[in-house]
Amino acid sequence: MGVLLLCGTRKGLFLIRGDDARRNWDLEKTLLSGWSVFHAVQDPRHGDLHVAANNWVYGGTTHRSSDLGKTWERSEGLGLPEESGLKLEEVWHVEPGHDSEPDTLWLGATPGILFRSGDRGESWEPVRGLLEHPTRDRWQPGAGGMCCHSVQIDPADPKKMFIAISAAGTFRTEDGGETWVPRNKDVAADFMPDPFPELGQCVHKLLLHPARQDRLWQQNHCGVYRSDDRGDNWERLEGNGLPSGFGFPLAIHPRDPDVAYVIPEEGAENRVTSDGRLGVYRTADGGASWELASNGLPEPAWGAVMREGFASDRNDPAGVYFGTQSGSVFASSSEGDSWTEVARQLPPVLSVEVGEWS
């Protein structure tokens, strides 16, 4: 099995095939030309590719392929009910469902929308519990719109899920999506009159650790956070090696719940990588300290990595991958110890995910 990188870009989807040793990488021709691919993922249960794609003119949709991109089917009629008064703006993130529900997928979208598919992505229905959430009138859009960009499912229980919306915050459900509770205690929202509100936080990326399901990591507009009690309490993790708490992408180690990676930016008012370098920062102690892991990365560099642009594989040692707004894709087969540029001059990279090919 080789690693397959799915790189969503502003202008189509690019697949990059790695060999078994993750040393040689082949860039394939563009797929889904004309679509802005916000996120693409390979469903580990079936191998299907699922793509959240948007077009300036024709709106947001999803595409799926069961033959690694040779042919595609598009879901038709994606939208919101008229009585909601809302229209679908963009689709942001496709998340394969729990292993026990092999035909279920989830799709995060703007404005603050979660869709569920029960037929492997052929059709989608909005999750009413979120669409009609009683706090919706208090949600505010971030610069990218009010996007639901993170969907995390507890591997131990398909009814327990987390989503994050910018800027509404983190929400948890324990009943499969019927009801959602905000989980943002001690998470800052410096742009609000009350800097620690119940909701309204600008989460940039949220991940649940698959091996320790109580643990969540969060890269926020206002800091990097960890929760060890499923979002009930959050601890801010900076001032200990990170040059900035601001950033978008986040990656975690597939097995070690204490290892995470971020790529900080200068700040909200200057969204370029910190200190004039493309710097990955890694923690091996749950965020108590961070070290720069930039061996092989360019310097000087004023790039940026989007919220979906960072991923890890399940190999040992783990591979870590990210793509930049400048059109480069970097890979590390050594858990971040060293990096190699595996593609360059792509359109701006919006997302990176890891799949496999044989």
Partner 1 sequence: MVVVRIPSLLAVQAGGQGTFEVEAETVGGALRQLPVSDLLIDEHGELRRLVNVYVDGEDTRGLEGLETPLAGASELRVIAAVAGG
Binding positions for partner 1, rule: CB under 8 A: 10, 33-34, 55-59, 61, 74, 76-82, 87-88
- Smaller CB separation from partner 1, 59 or 286: 59
**What's the closest the beta carbon of residue 221 comes to partner 1, in angstroms?**
24
**What's the closest the beta carbon of residue 259 comes to partner 1, in angstroms?**
37
**What's the closest the beta carbon of residue 73 comes to partner 1, in angstroms?**
10
**What's the closest the beta carbon of residue 317 comes to partner 1, in angstroms?**
39
Question: Are residues 168 and 139 in contact, defined by beta-carbon separation less than 8 angstroms?
Answer: yes
- Smaller CB separation from partner 1, 88 or 207: 88
- Smaller CB separation from partner 1, 76 or 132: 76
- Smaller CB separation from partner 1, 12 or 18: 12
**What's the closest the beta carbon of residue 57 comes to partner 1, in angstroms?**
4
147 CB-near residues (< 8 Å, 6+ apart) = 90, 92, 108, 109, 110, 112, 165, 166
**What's the closest the beta carbon of residue 147 comes to partner 1, in angstroms?**
18
Query: In the numeric block, which tokens belong to residue 6?
Result: 């799915």
- Smaller CB separation from partner 1, 89 or 313: 89
- Smaller CB separation from partner 1, 65 or 201: 65
- Smaller CB separation from partner 1, 74 or 255: 74
**What's the closest the beta carbon of residue 36 comes to partner 1, in angstroms?**
9
- Smaller CB separation from partner 1, 345 or 358: 345
**What's the closest the beta carbon of residue 177 comes to partner 1, in angstroms?**
20
